Every structure is written in C-alpha cells, then in structure tokens.
Structure 1
Amino acid sequence: MNVRRLIPTAALAGAVALGATALTACSGAAAGAGTKDGKVGVTASFYPLQYLAEQIGKDHVKVDTLTKPGVEPHDLEITPKQAVRLSGADVVLYLKSLQPAVDKAVAQAGVKNTVDAATLTTLASHGASGHDHGAEPGHAEPGHGEEGDEHAEEGHGHRHGEAGQDPHVWLDPAKYAEIAKGVGAALEKADPDHAADYKKNTDELVAKLAALDTEFKDGLTNTASKTFITTHSAFGYLAERYGLDQESISGVDPQSEPSPARMKELQAFAKQENVSTVFFETLASDKTAKVLAADTGLKTDVLDPLEGITDKSQGADYFEVMRSNMKNLQKALGSK
C-alpha cells in the first residue's frame, strides 16, 4: 500500500490564511478577483480538468494545475505554496475523493466558485473486473486487504468516492462531456461578460466528445474478444460504455502489489478468456504487467488512464491519447 504524507490540517489552514492575506496586501484587492492581466484564474486538480478549463476558457482564462506532468495524481502532496495559490483562484476544479490531499486543501481554501466534477455526472462502483461488486458478500478489492484497512485508520487509505465509487469518469467520453458542460457553466458564472464565448466553446468540445464516443462504439463493436487485463482498475466506465470487460491486476490503486494468489488467478483467467495482452500505463510501474505477461506468454501494451500528459504519452492531448487507447484495444481484442 502506498502511504501518502499529507500536510496536517492545522498547518494547511494556516498556510491558506497567510496566503490569502499576502495576496490581498500585494494586489490591493481580495484574493480570487482575477489575474493581473484580467483573465479568470482557474486552478484544476489534475490534467482532465485542466484540459477542460483550457479548451472552454481559451484566451479568457489562466489555468494552473496542482498535479504537474509526470506526477501520479493519487500520490499528490499539497505544498504550502500550492495552498496559497489555490486560495487565490477565481474557480477551482477538482474531483472529490480522487486525491485526498486536494480534498483537504480545497476545503480549507474557501474559494466561492468551487466545482466538484463528481457532482456533474453519475458515478458507479467498479471492482477489479470493471463491474459493481458492492453488493457481493465477502468481496475485497485487490490491494485493499488488512494492510489497506490499517492505513485507512491512519488517514492514508486510498478511497474513492462514496461507497467505493470509481472516479475515472473522464475515460468515458459521454460522461466527460457532462463534466465539460458543468465546467462551462461554472466559467459563465464566474465571468458573465464572456458567457457567450464559454457557451460556444463548451458546445464545440461536447460535439467533439460525441464524435469520439461514436468512434469508440464503431471501433470496438466487432472484436474477437471483449476482455482486457490492466494493471489498475481505471477503465470501468470505458468498458461499461463499449460492452467490454476489464480485469485488473491491482484494483483502483496503481501502486498496490497484487498477492501471489491474485497473480495465479489472473494467469488462469487469461488462458480461459484467450487474453492476448496485459496493459500497463505511463505514470505507474509496469513491473506487475511484465511479470504476468512473462508467466503467461502474453504481450504488453499501453492503456493510458490519462491522469497526466508527459513526453511518454501516446499523444499530446486528451483526444490523441484516447484514440491511441482505442487502437491499442482494437489490436489486443482482435478488431475485425
């Protein structure tokens, strides 16, 4: 279990309070009153929300992200300097329960226009196989056994949403479009003078996401197999949307280590389901994927959960990486 070191709440509150005072003193205006060049200051917790703000806000916004390229979002630690910047934002975009450190920082920042992306669409619970295991007696998510419970008591557990809800909604273009609409509405509220531009940009982005959704439906309809194995259970919404079955090695935490029993179970599963490929991702270790592939004679390939863009990403932005994901799935599933 990957234990995260979070800034104590009292220290974080102090940093935010001092930051707000400093910002007011330096600018002669209340924090959150816009940037020096008149643009709306948006702070996004990680890449998918940063991308929406940039595409919808364009020249009217200045976007800052708390999760820098190459940092695994689940592991983010908020620095006092970031807490100060967060308190001075006009709009804050985050996804509650994805990043515990961000949740605490947002709660302390007190920014008026704060948007939780999880409230803009409907979340579901996806277990290791991409299905809802919430009602199954005795089901334990891989990587969250006794050790996970112990860390949860310490305040460092890797928990997602209410009742274990899966936060990876941006990997479903249709759900991502719903979030885009909410982000657009938030920018319109924060900057009504440019509301027409935000509405136009939102509509254009939603149309592009609808086209991407159609591409995935057409591209993944006729395949030899419907099952894929990933290192981390990030693709439940994508699998659900396009009639696929996700089986993950490590559950929702990409850094958790699977047990020997889980690895043996996956070896048998791969043979039974004629799985050809084990997918790993760019921001987390590929060790377990390579071990499983070596033990079963499978190939490995990238399926990117799009939690960040780096020079290792198979594309420069959300749409390019999503299309790379589709091509990799088509190859692994035997698209006809």
Structure 2
Amino acid sequence: MKRLAAASAGAALLGSVVLSGCAAFTDDSATSADGVQVAAAFYPLQYVADRVAGGHADVENLTAPGGEPHDLELTPKETADVAGADLVLYQRGFQPSVDDAVDENATGDTLDVADLVDLVPFRDHGVDSDELDPHFWQDPVLLADVGDAVAKQLAKVDPDHADDYTANAADLRSDLEQLDQEYQAGLTGCERSTVVVSHDAFGYLQRYGITMEAILGLSPDAEPTPADLARLEKLIQEDGVTTVFSESLVSPETAEQLAHDTGVTSAVLDPIEGLTDETADEDYLSLMRSNLSALEEANGC
C-alpha cells in the first residue's frame, strides 16, 4: 500500500515551484482570504470536512474525481492548495505525495488522521502483512471520531463558528452511528459469511461478522498468481459464494474473469476512496448503504 512514489524528487520540485512562486497562486488558489480554506487528501476526508464545516469553509479535495488515491501525484495547483490551506486533512502513509507536500509546503494547521484512529495491521484482517490497513473509513464509527477532531481543529482556526462546528460534528456522528447500526442488523444471520473482493480495502467491515477474501492483495494494481486464483476458486465452491466483487476506480477485469470461471455473479463493492462519473450524485452514506445492500444480497442476509 505504501508506495514509495517516484514522487520524492517530484514533490520537492513542486515544493520549490510553490515556495518560489507563491504570489502567482495568491488570487486563484486556496490562499484566498475569503473564509476558511481546507485541503482534504481524498474523498472520505473531504466528506467529513464538508459536513463539519457546513458553509463556513471551502473544502478542496486533492484527489480529483475518478482518480485512484493510492497513485496520486500532486499538480502545482494541488500543491498550492496545501500551501495556502488553513487546515490540511490527510492520512500519513497512504499518499506519499501528500505527505511530502505537507512536510515541505503546508503553512497552516495539519491534521493527520492516522494519529486519530486506531489503524490495525492487515494481519488482523487475515492478510499476511504487518502493514497498517489505511481503509479505516469502512468503519463508520472511526470516521465519526475524525469528524469530532476536525470540529476541534476548525474551532481553533475559526473560533467565531466553534459552536457550529461542534453541532455539525454531532450531527455527522449521529448519521454514522445510525449507519453502523444498519450494518450490524443487516449482516446478522446471513446464510454465508465469506466475501470475495477485488483487493484488501474492506477489512474493517469484518467486525460485522463477515470474512473478506481478496483477489489482488494489498495493492489494487497487483496481479494474482495462479495459486491465488486456484485457492479462491476452491473457496468459492466450498463456501457457496454467490458473488465476486470488483470495485470502482480500478479495472474489474480480474474479478469478472474469476466470477465467469466459477459460474457466479459479478457485482461492484465501492471502497469509497473517491467518487466517479457514475457516483457523482452519491455521498459516503449512500455508497455505504449500497454496499450493505450488495453484501446482504450476496450473503443471503
């Protein structure tokens, strides 16, 4: 997951562009004096920032819609957004180019969500790796914790609206706790518990009593070995799996081929790392509920 992006040198170059030409961005970028400016590294963080900020801040998502956040390379404009933001919300270790931009260019407050939530190693999700699983937003309660921290940070940046930020975070927590209850109820008493997914982006859902089996391992760009595919084919047959899930933002080809080879259905389970053209009218809550419906149907809940 933690790609050491060829971006180390590139980010340094972008940093020098921003630092040497800051005035060039002053009128058009996040350095505008009109209100609080927030830079969020990828979609779930943008969703939280938008909900907590309400109308009191302009939130920029550093990962463009349809972009794969793991592979993000910041443009000069996005680096300028980091430099000019009153608050940068990011997750260290998930997007190396954002880490570099924060270290080299951020002038306002920064909030690293990896310090806020208890990330667990992939090994706890049944994967042979000691790396920490960054996909915490699959657990709505952990995302609510981020919302509370964002409210505190925005209140520090903009104390005049502190009460609004606190109230908005409380509303967000209420929605996320309701979603958590829906998952607990919806995935109880299912006919089967095994879920075959494209890559290891859904491990935090296992606390609802399901077991995730990934085709591609830690990286959405990895290639499964013949032994991996043979093991999954056997598992699908033995556990009565009805559906192989591909996901948005990456090619569904491998998942669809496995579904075809085993005679089961292919469907989409959205990791909610970012919105696409097809999900532009959705949000975190609606996508999580769509995922729940898909899991209920696949597992006979």
The one of 196, 215, 229 aligned to 2:163? 196
Q: Which amino acid aligns with 1:14?
A: S
Q: Alpha-carbon deviation of 1:99? A: 1.1
Asked if structure 2 preserves the Cα contact closer than 8 Å seen for 1:126 and 1:132, the reply is yes
The one of 218, 238, 244 aligned to 2:210? 244
Q: Alpha-carbon deviation of 1:210? A: 0.5
Indicate the percent of aligned positions where both proteins have the same amino acid. Answer: 42
Q: Alpha-carbon deviation of 1:95? A: 1.0
Asked if structure 2 preserves the Cα contact closer than 8 Å seen for 1:16 and 1:108, the reply is no
Number of aligned residues: 299
**In the TM superposition, what whole-angstrom CA distance separates every residue of 1:48-88 from its partner, at most 9, and x where no partner exists?**
01111111101100011110110111111112222122101
Q: Which amino acid aligns with 1:130?
A: H
Question: What is the CA–CA distance in structure 2 between the aligned matches of 1:192 and 1:174, rounded to whole Å?
Answer: 26
The equivalent residue for 1:214 is 181
The one of 194, 212, 235 aligned to 1:227? 194
The one of 265, 279, 293 aligned to 1:327? 293
Question: What is the CA–CA distance in structure 2 between the aligned matches of 1:48 and 1:99, rounded to whole Å?
Answer: 14
Matches within 5 A, 1:1-336: 5-6=6-7, 8=9, 9-22=11-24, 35-37=32-34, 39-127=35-123, 130-131=125-126, 133-134=128-129, 163-239=130-206, 241-313=207-279, 316-335=282-301
The equivalent residue for 1:160 is none
Question: What is the CA–CA distance in structure 1 between the aligned matches of 2:176 and 2:81, rounded to whole Å?
Answer: 31
Question: What is the CA–CA distance in structure 2 between the aligned matches of 1:314 and 1:303, rounded to whole Å?
Answer: 16
Question: What is the CA–CA distance in structure 2 between the aligned matches of 1:106 and 1:40, rounded to whole Å?
Answer: 18
Q: Which amino acid aligns with 1:252?
A: L
* TM score, norm. by length of structure 2: 0.93
Structure-2 change in CA distance of 1:315 and 1:133 (3 Å): farther
Asked if structure 1 preserves the Cα contact closer than 8 Å seen for 2:85 and 2:108, the reply is no
Question: What is the CA–CA distance in structure 2 between the aligned matches of 1:58 and 1:315, rounded to whole Å?
Answer: 18
Structure 2 unpaired stretches of 5+: none
Alignment RMSD, CA only?
A: 2.2
Asked if structure 2 preserves the Cα contact closer than 8 Å seen for 1:249 and 1:263, the reply is yes
Structure-2 change in CA distance of 1:314 and 1:223 (3 Å): farther
Question: What is the CA–CA distance in structure 2 between the aligned matches of 1:281 and 1:3, rounded to whole Å?
Answer: 24
Structure-2 change in CA distance of 1:314 and 1:194 (3 Å): closer
> What secondary structure does 1:164 align onto?
coil
